[in-house]
Amino acid sequence: MHLTSRKYIFISIAMTNSDPPLLNHYGALFSSNSPQLDDPKNRLVIEECQLPLIDLSGLSNHDETVRRACVAAICGASSEWGFFQVLNHGISPQLVEQMRSEQVKLFKIPFERKASCGLLNNSYRWGSPRATCPKQFSWSEAFHVPLTKVSDEACYGEFISLRAVMIEFAAAMSKLAGLLGSILTANLGHGKEVIKNLCDEGTCFLRLNHYPACPISPEILGLVCHTDSDFLTILCQDQVGGLQLMKDSKWVTVKPNRDALIVNIGDLFQAWSNGVYKSVEHKVVTNAKMERYSIAYFLCPSYDSSIGSFKEPSIYRKFTFREYRDQVQEDVRKTGYKVGLPRFLVSGRGDLLTGSME
């Protein structure tokens, strides 16, 4: 970054306030770090992409050929892209609109209240508390709500109308996640009950995300580059855009589709499938003028569930979800980065992986 650009950022930080106080935290990181802000990985050529778009109505079609084609599209996209979009997913536009309206009202309350009033199981978080340099910083805020707390009246305070919408939305997302998970396990010759037996409402959660407009620098990320530490994630986003994923060693921008939900494979499905399904790096870029909202559902197993490959020889050693989460948190605490699945590779078997990884 040029010196003049760095000076501009310092001036902007000094003259601007934000809610939440992202600028204060980012400014402190920026001031205390001499390395350049930009990361070469963020400067790769960006192209807009159309993710595989799958109409889930094909799963209930009377024609077996259509049903099989729909299943093949889901499994193929999970292997080739690690991401895909779904239409006719069972979540009505009216419910999405209600959820978005309630979400906007929630994030509009002052930062001090969000941070201190214990809303949604006291799950409010913002920025990147463990960041040690600017490129580890996420320009966003979120509520991270376990499914077991979605129906708890005590979590909502004055936001009474949010509770009914959250209950309905979470149930619909859970149903969809279970359906997709069962299709992916059945494709590899295992019963549809595998996901049901592994996954636990106590560890699945909804995350309500808000990415405030960021006029400071386009190099600041709304959410830093990462893979998801779950089986699969379902994302409901607005039309602002900003999601990018790694495809063929370059970043591509996902074009929003008003009628679709985005699904991506998590680390645990990559491990369980022995690398057949891909957990792909992704990030969210900021917008200088527009704020962005999204809601993510994370399908996770119980903490003591053993995650092992569905076949041998296995690329990864067996591990529990608790062990995996603890290792991820330790890596982030020590280095600011998630290492993830490479920590669990069986020595000498990385060459068994097909296609691209993290």
d(CA 268, CA 176): 18
> In degrees rounded to 5, what are phi and psi of residue 49?
-125, 155
What does the block give as tokens for 299? 């399908």
Q: What pLDDT, on a 0 to 100 scale, did the predictor assign at position 3?
A: 41
Confidence of residue 39 (pLDDT cuts 50, 70, 90): low
CA distance 151 to 115: 21
- Strand order in 261-265's β-sheet? 53-55, 83-87, 261-265, 232-237, 292-299, 205-211, 141-146, 124-126
Q: State residue 218's pLDDT score.
A: 81
The two three-digit tokens of residue 59, written as one number: 């799963």
Facing residues of 227 across strands?
none
Confidence at residue 87, expressed as pLDDT on a 0 to 100 scale: 98
Average pLDDT over residues 29-46: 53
Q: CATH topology for 42-309?
A: Jelly Rolls (2.60.120)
> 170: pLDDT confidence band, cut at 50, 70 and 90?
very high
> What is the percentage of the chain residues whose pLDDT exceeds 90?
72
Domain boundaries of the chain, sorted by first residue: 42-309
- Mean pLDDT (whole number) for 261-290: 97
Predicted confidence band at 353 (pLDDT cuts at 50, 70, 90)? low
Confidence of residue 196 (pLDDT cuts 50, 70, 90): confident
For 117-146, the pLDDT digits (tens) are 899 999 999 988 777 677 888 999 999 999
Give the model confidence (pLDDT) of 15-33 as tens digits.
Answer: 455 678 787 766 665 555 5
Quote the CA–CA distance of 116 and 113 in Å, as a whole number. 5
Taking the C-alpha atoms of residue 231 and residue 266, their distance in angstroms, rounded to an integer, is: 5
Flag whether pLDDT at 178 surpasses 60.
yes
> What backbone torsions phi and psi does residue 146 show, to the nearest 5 degrees?
-60, 145
Quote the tokens at residue 36.
């350049």
Helices (H), 241-302: 267-272
Contact in structure between 106 and 143 (CB atoms under 8 Å): yes
Instruction: Kindly calculate the radius of gyration of the chain based on its CA atoms and give it in whole angstroms.
Output: 20
pLDDT band at 34 (very low <50, low <70, confident <90, very high): very low
Which residue shows structure tokens 């204060």? 24
Cα angle value 185/191/194 (rounded, 5°): 65
Please write the tens of the pLDDT for every residue from 315-349: 999 999 999 999 999 998 888 789 999 999 996 55
CB distance 105 to 159 below 8 Å: yes
pLDDT of res. 224: 93
CA distances from residue 354 to 275, 277, 339 in whole angstroms, order as listed: 7, 9, 19
- Helix residue spans in 46-159 (DSSP H): 64-80, 93-108, 111-116, 119-122
* Contact predicate 155/124, CB 8 Å: no
Between 202 and 149, the more confident residue is 149
**In percent, how much of the chain has pLDDT > 70?**
85
User: What average pLDDT is seen over the chain?
Assistant: 88
Kindly give the interhelix angle for 3-15 and 22-31, rounded to the nearest 10 degrees: 140
Locate tokens 């000498």: which residue? 348
**Who wins on pLDDT, 28 or 191?**
191
Q: What is the pLDDT, as a whole number, of residue 307? A: 95
DSSP secondary structure letter of residue 289 = S
The span from the CA of 202 to the CA of 54, in Å, is 30
Buried residues in 180-216 as b, exposed as e (16+ CB within 10 A)? bbbbbbbbeebeeebbeebbbeebbbbbbbbbbebeb
Question: Which whole number is the average pLDDT over 258-287?
Answer: 97
Residue with tokens 């037996």: 197
**How far apart are the two ends of the chain, measured CA to CA in Å?**
27
pTM of the model: 0.90
Q: What are the residues facing 126 on neighbouring strands?
A: 141
Q: How many CB atoms lie within 10 A of CB 333?
A: 9
Say how far apart CA 122 and CA 152 lie, in whole Å: 12
